[in-house]
Amino acid sequence: MTVLQFAAQVCTVLGLVTGPALLVATRAPRLALGVLLDFLLAAGLLRLAQDATVSTLLGAAAVVALRRLLAVSLTLDAGVLSRQHRGRPRRSGPEERCRG
């Protein structure tokens, strides 16, 4: 096992541990998914540096494409949820009920 192979495995493990841990700690799925995919991208690029074949290049490209697709999808979902939240009637607090 070469240094680059070992580093790629370390990046993969760190991503698989850090991503879910970050999700539990922050409850921010977009952030956790970004960290996971960044570690997987780093692992793919390290593998690509070691063995520049078509399959390793496609693997790294697939991680980049997946990251972009999920980022756009989560951004659009957040926008829809935000618009739905704005459309809800406000709850009246005690001070608004007293005004009558």
What whole-number percentage of the chain has pLDDT above 90? 33
Model-level pTM?
Answer: 0.68
Domain boundaries, the chain: 3-79
DSSP-derived 3-state class of residue 53: coil
Query: Nearest CA to 8 among 52, 55, 54, 40?
Result: 40
What pLDDT score was predicted for residue 10? 96
55-80 pLDDT, tens per residue? 888 888 888 898 888 878 877 766 66
Residue 41 contacts by C-beta under 8 Å, 6 or more apart in sequence? 60, 63, 64, 67
